[in-house]
Amino acid sequence: MELLTGKVALVTGSARGIGKTIAEVLADLGCAIVVSDIDKEGAEATAASLKTDAIAVQADVSNADDVAALVDKATERFEKIDILVNNAGITRDNLLMRMKEEDWDLVLKINLKGAFLCTKQVLRGMMRQRSGKIINIASVVGVMGNAGQANYAASKAGLIGFTKSVAREAASRNIQVNAVAPGYIETEMTSHLPNEVKENFLADIPSGRAGSGEDVAKVVAFLASSYADYITGQTIHVDGGMLIA
């Protein structure tokens, strides 16, 4: 029997990138998957490619009606949600002096409010079943800060505070809430960075390489499994040593 056989996971932003790899790794461990993304075709393609029971549901995580419909569809199909991975996220980088208010608002709305809406919607069922795992994809930048990413860093630092608070609220119901803080991972999100920025990132990574989606997904799988039943409120850094506190 696989580690996650019989479990159901909802992964937001899983049409591509880290979210897609998380869906693949959880599926390989026997989990049924709800693939959700604002990108409908991408979500459908991911769901079709998984070697497990999977459905695709289009939803904007920052829209409360979309999130309510997403959780309804997921529970109609699978009856429960055991694992929620709040992965959907965006960047709108600029130096603070040039940062537009709308770019501040949008990043906070998707990265932080999105996790609030999805967690709130899923938590009721987890409370009732007295078990659940919630994993929030933060960022090393939420702990270190990064020039040009004040909005993104604030959203990810907020997500870490959110993780700690919900962990305290839900622990007595056997629900564990943790965050994973990736460093520099090669995906669509980072592919547009100027070469100089990429080289600077690499120079700061003791492991000497960028991370992969799989590096992140394997830690998510661990946190989603019974191996992590006594871990809650933590942020696990997956960054090749970029931040060693």
Ligand X SMILES: NC(=O)c1ccc[n+]([C@@H]2O[C@H](COP(=O)([O-])OP(=O)(O)OC[C@H]3O[C@@H](n4cnc5c(N)ncnc54)[C@H](O)[C@@H]3O)[C@@H](O)[C@H]2O)c1
Residues lying near ligand X in the complex (CB under 6 A): 12-13, 15-19, 37-39, 42, 60-62, 87-90, 110, 137, 139, 182, 184-185, 187-190
Instruction: Give CA torsion, residues 222, 227, 228, 229, to 10 deg.
Output: 140
CB 30 within 8 A of CB 2: yes
Tokens of residue 86, six digits: 């709040």
In Å, how far are 205, 235, 236, 242 from 165, measured between CA atoms? Answer: 30, 13, 16, 26
> What DSSP assignment string belongs to 207-230?
TSS-B-HHHHHHHHHHHHSGGGTT
Distance CA 176, CA 179 (A): 10
* C-beta of 17 vs 158, nearer to ligand X: 17
Smallest distance, ligand X to C-beta of residue 132, A: 20
Smallest distance, ligand X to C-beta of residue 139, A: 4
* C-beta of 108 vs 127, nearer to ligand X: 108
In Å, how far are 20, 184, 237 from 216, measured between CA atoms? Answer: 11, 11, 9
Residues taking part in catalysis: 152
* C-beta of 39 vs 173, nearer to ligand X: 39
Distance CA 100, CA 229 (A): 42
* C-beta of 173 vs 198, nearer to ligand X: 198
Smallest distance, ligand X to C-beta of residue 53, A: 21
